[in-house]
Amino acid sequence: NAGVTQTPKFRVLKTGQSMTLLCAQDMNHEYMYWYRQDPGMGLRLIHYSVGEGTTAKGEVPDGYNVSRLKKQNFLLGLESAAPSQTSVYFCASSYRGQGIAGELFFGEGSRLTVL
Amino acid sequence: GDSVTQMEGPVTLSEEAFLTINCTYTATGYPSLFWYVQYPGEGLQLLLKATKADDKGSNKGFEATYRKETTSFHLEKGSVQVSDSAVYFCALNNAGNMLTFGGGTRLMVKP
């Protein structure tokens, strides 16, 4: 029962470096999401995807790019990391949209520190 | 826009105490309401939900009632356990593709 798996779990970057977070789900879910979690601010949606080959902006998309080349994978990229992107990143997936019956399944999180 | 406000934590209780975590929301229309729980070192998981006014969601001894007149969805449990120590998030969905989360409330239960 892998569910939603995120890699890496921890990463330290220097300002200006780039990196990619990988999210993989084995539940055949159509929808996938990337959130960031900051103290006292709850979770904020960065980007999401409603199916293979599609992506859309969430609440805080600036400084991030995403790709959904395969249904089971959703990649989050930082092209030029900034200290403001220090956060815990969560990937989630759902069988349908976050509508009335929608339930999100979350990964364990990836802690990113940008120095 | 939509928003969710939760009481600030941490909430510290002794085992077997009664728990209330307040949640109020601002939204147009008729949103669905959720409580998610995050145990230490883990991702969030759905605890309970309610999809229309006066609905009561329940799971693992936790309950919350969708009160449209007061725009609230307070989480309650009659007798907390040490294993309930976690961060609790209230959230809403207003017929879109996004969940709007509150800031989270940390609960610490002491033996």
Work out how many CB contacts closer than 8 A connect A with B: 60
Contact B2/A at CB under 8 A: no
CB < 8 Å to B101, chain A: 42-44
Please tell me the distance in Å from B103's CA to the nearest CA on chain A.
Answer: 4
Contact A23/B at CB under 8 A: no
Closest CA to B63 of B71, B53, B73, B51: B73
Q: What is the mean pLDDT of residues A72-95?
A: 95
Per-residue pLDDT, A91:
96
Nearest to A102 among B89, B93, B102 (CB): B93
Per-residue pLDDT, A1:
62
Verify whether the Cβ–Cβ distance A104 to B103 is below 8 Å. no
Confidence check: pLDDT of B8 > 90? no
Tens digits of residue pLDDT in A11-66? 999 999 999 999 999 999 999 999 999 987 788 999 999 899 999 999 899 999 99
Locate A9 and state its tokens.
Answer: 């779990």
Q: CA–CA separation, B31 vs B98, rounded Å?
A: 11
Q: What is the mean pLDDT of residues B32-40?
A: 93
**Of the listed ranges A45-59, B24-38, B62-76, B85-99, the one predicted with least confidence:** B85-99
Verify whether the Cβ–Cβ distance A100 to B44 is below 8 Å. no
Q: What percent of chain B has pLDDT over 70?
A: 97
Locate B21 and state its tokens.
Answer: 């975590």
Confidence check: pLDDT of B2 > 90? no
Amino acid at A75: L
Confidence check: pLDDT of A97 > 90? no
Per-residue pLDDT, B91:
93
Nearest to A58 among B46, B89, B98 (CB): B98
Please tell me the distance in Å from B98's CA to the nearest CA on chain A.
Answer: 6
Average pLDDT taken over every residue of chain A: 91
